[in-house]
Copies of this chain bind each other. A is one copy, B any other.
């Protein structure tokens, strides 16, 4: 679709320069894939597909000063599809904003090279992005400012094609035309793939030319891997008057790395660990074939990363409270646990309840990751009850409502930030006000999401959902609770949300463990066993009689397992008896269990992998207002302290944010003034 330009000279770009730029692109590719490889996570596909565009921009087109990133008259570039950050980092490094060798610390805690760009941490980043469909609006604000102030800077915005599923893009597009922002150039990385597969299958976005033209934009096409063509179309764009410009760049996802090219699996994964073998960094670098980036260079950089990580490890380790022994999961030959992500339990549950013909599943382009695919994996006939909607959280919410209205039981899901936030008004007005029977899978909750960083770590989802009338909320601790919760939520009529985690966490319950909606479990540590799970008693709160414990800890979700381990530490180290209250149902919460604990024990700690108080304040509120407290009680909340998450390894972050058992145990001891 691209129109090749044969008049190279008019843009003052020689073959020699093009060659140089292509070399630069290879260098960016080499650093980028090495960084992703070093991180062992990250978005290979999209990063590779935008590198030639970034090269053309940063090494031929943009005005900027790497020594003064805030130079007022610089051109602005916004990376709306923030997950392609590794490519931008390498580009900025090679453009002189910082030492390029730093980029291999990608997604490491404290490095600043977050999974999604953070403007406070990396020079040259114009705005922190990561939630799709928001960058164009920021760019419009910046371009509008230039118009108003009569500034000459240009504004560029790189978007993904999958991102065009988001209505917010079209909402923004309309306004850019309304304000005739001819200083705004959007570039679409049209690689035809998104997480769930081909864009035309996940959600057809074509005809793109007609769409953008109808929204009042001037449209150009280019070959997104032909730097000359990119530059040409940029220069065409500069000539446009009174209209914003979009350049649709035909690209190849994973471009330059044979095994990643056009391979949707490489949307969000790194090449295989290590430097050897198929689909390894070595193979990738061989494909890229960058003169100035040898395999030795890669080894050196990977070595630097190891050193950096060792420092992080030391820092984290030093900060962890110490006890007479190492109580961490599976560190001794007793108290063993298996680890599963609780999203897997949801998958099993969904597989089971899928038999009910009323169950339908709506995909938001993250189907496999949150185990929505378990619905049809073993039952191909159920594919007819799976509906793909792409990256369109608002729309799946209202469509689910329409399906529920007609008697279906729709499940929708995505990262918690997006499925309990992006669509908040839809949940409120269309689902809750109508009391429609829609099930919300609030996946990837909490900081343990890990290297994706703050934009993708839901820490406000519970408070967003809790205050909505008619909503019910489950937060299962482990895979088995998630499976049970899935079956329960299907059987409840009306809106129900379930929060899940991304990471593998300990399995601490069994199919035999009592589990009732709206009823907390009381868990008591009884002494060391071979298996962690056997070291505890589990009872429904209504069946439990006080043992006059020293302390009650209230938790739900995977942090419950940390609370259990804290109880184990507290008993073994200090002979402290802990009543653990598993309030897996956040709404309606088991008030009796909590009030009993206050009356019987009077010392309460709440733990949440959420902004502190999101759950803790609810508990504090119900205790306070019940007015049953005859004696003063002590109350402490542990959670995330009014801050965003950041990139790092899940367990690293859990320690850094003070949410593991060691911190809970130490806090508990201090709290009890022992």
Contacts and interface: CB of A to CB of B under 8 A. Distances in A.
A204 interface: yes
Interface in A449-494: 454-455, 459-460, 463-464, 466-469
A177 B204 contact: yes
Contacts of A207: 214
A625 B635 contact: yes
A421 B428 contact: yes
A172 interface: yes
B144 A429 contact: no
Interface stretch (A38-46, A289-297, A573-581, A626-634): A626-634
A637 interface: yes
A426 interface: yes
Q: How many identical chains are in the complex?
A: 2
Interface in A379-402: 384-385, 387, 389-390, 392, 394-395, 397-402
B168 A402 contact: no
Closest 7 CB pairs of A and B: A141-B402, A137-B398, A167-B171, A167-B167, A617-B621, A210-B214, A624-B635
A449 to B, nearest CB: 14
Interface stretch (A122-130, A277-285, A558-566): A122-130
A65 interface: no
A422 B421 contact: no
B421 A144 contact: no
Interface stretch (A105-113, A236-244, A266-274, A608-616): A608-616
A346 interface: no
B433 A644 contact: yes
B178 A434 contact: no
A213 interface: yes
A552 to B, nearest CB: 13
A405 B126 contact: yes
Contacts of A636: 625, 627
A515 interface: no
A246 B428 CA distance: 27
A168 B464 contact: no
A174 B178 contact: no
Nearest to A637: B625
Nearest to A151: B406
A216 interface: yes
Contact of A430 (B138, B178, B405, B464): B138
7 contacts: A130-B433, A138-B402, A145-B407, A167-B169, A179-B387, A469-B642, A620-B623
A662 to B, nearest CB: 21
Contact of A398 (B141, B394, B459, B624): B141
A384 B150 CA distance: 13
A335 interface: no
A179 B432 CA distance: 26
Nearest to A131: B429
A643 B127 CA distance: 38
Nearest to A418: B425
A149 B402 CA distance: 14
A141 B469 CA distance: 23
A119 interface: yes
Contact of A424 (B401, B424, B614): B424
A175 B203 contact: yes
Contact of A421 (B148, B425, B627): B425
A524 interface: no
Given A210-B214, A425-B417, A463-B466, A175 B131 contact: no
A165 B174 contact: yes
B203 A178 contact: yes
A339 interface: no
Contact of A204 (B128, B178, B360, B389): B178
A139 interface: yes
A395 B137 contact: yes
A429 B455 contact: yes
Contacts of A582: none
A37 interface: no
B394 A171 contact: yes
A48 interface: no
A130 B430 CA distance: 9
Interface in A184-210: 203-205, 207, 210
A140 interface: yes
A316 interface: no
B139 A402 contact: yes
Nearest to A671: B627
A145 B406 contact: yes
Contacts of A624: 620, 623-624, 633, 635
Given A398-B168, A404-B141, A417-B425, A632 B635 contact: no
